[in-house]
Structure 1
Amino acid sequence: MELNDEIRIPAPKQVVYDALNDPNILRQCIPGCEELIQHSPSELEAKVVLKIGPVKARFAGTVELDQSGAPDGFSLSGEGKGGAAGFAKGGANVTLTEDGDETILAYTATADVGGKIAQLGSRLIKGTAKKLSGAFFKKFAEVVGESVEA
């Protein structure tokens, strides 16, 4: 499954990049996030509760960041296990483009799922993934925009 989108954030590129690397900001923005621990500048551990159709599961997983393209963008990859519900793994490439006082964040993400959640069908999973990514980026734009105004 592949998702891509872009969002305009009312903040300079460096502020957006720094926020994308701030576990406290990410914890506020990730839907269902219970815990986000930064083990190193490039490694995070997360615990997230998600409901995908009739299946609700707690996922524990890791995320690796590749910041070699900073601050114009970065890539990430990760995987999570949801016990009997199954697993999810994937990655994303993010690019940041400054546009005046704002930043355009564009991303392309891929994901694979297995186990019980994979049996729900790709339409439901893709719809849920789009909804969750939309919720993340909407909240992220709000939080980053508020930090610039403060």
Structure 2
Amino acid sequence: MKIEYEYTFGLPRNLVWKYVMDEKVLRNALPGCKSFVEHSKGVYEADLEINIGPLKDAFTLEIRLDQQKPPTSFRMNVKGKGNVGEVVGTVEMRLQERVSATKVTCKAEGNVTGALAVAGQRILESGATKGLNVFFQTVEKEIKRNIYQLKRGGRRQR
């Protein structure tokens, strides 16, 4: 399965990079995320509830960040398991500076097994694209909320 997705933040790249790398922002932004914990530098475990078409399940994911080139790109290696199958894949993220904006390009490639694979590529791609859209919209809201808090003189809240 291959997915390509683009999102444009109305924010500068350095700011987007900072928050996309923030554990608390990620926990709040990942759809269905129940926990998100960094076990060691760049290695996270996440518990997610997925709801894609007829499939509903809880997944435990291991996410490893590597090939980080701040603030332009990084790669995630993801592997996870749930009752309906397993997923293994990589996600390449690129952040490009635009005039008062940041364009994020996401290219993902993965393999799924079990009922996930039986569900069909179209359902999975549609669900993944919807999840990416919700993720990036939520990250942007988190960034703007934190900026607002900082401007008001308050502490950053997450």
Mark yes or no: TM-score above 0.5. Answer: yes
Alignment identity in percent? Answer: 28
Secondary structure of 1:68's aligned partner: strand
- 1:71 partner SS: coil
Contact 1:9-1:144 at 8 Å conserved across structures: no
Partner Cα distance (2:67, 2:102) in 1: 18
* Structure 1: gaps spanning 5 or more residues: none
Which structure 1 residue ranges, 4+ long, deviate > 4 Å from structure 2? Answer: none
Say whether the 8 Å CA contact 2:5–2:129 is kept in structure 1. Answer: no
Task: Provide the rounded CA distance (Å) in 2 between the counterparts of 1:8 and 1:128.
Answer: 20
> Does the 8 Å contact 1:29/1:136 carry over to 2?
yes
State the shift of 1:119 in Å.
0.9
CA displacement at 1:67 relative to structure 2: 4.1
Instruction: Count matched residues.
Output: 149
Aligned pairs for 1:47-58 (under 5 A) are 47-58=47-58
Partner of 1:25: 25
Structure-1-length-normalised TM-score: 0.92
Q: CA deviation at 1:101?
A: 2.7
Provide the aligned C-alpha RMSD in A: 1.4
The corresponding residue for 2:101 is 102
What amino acid sits opposite 2:50 in the alignment?
Answer: L
Aligned to 1:16: 16
In structure 2, what residue type is equivalent to 1:105? V
**Please, what TM-score do these two structures have when normalized by structure 2?**
0.87
Task: Give 1:128's aligned residue.
Answer: 127
Q: Which runs of 5+ in 2 are unaligned?
A: 150-158
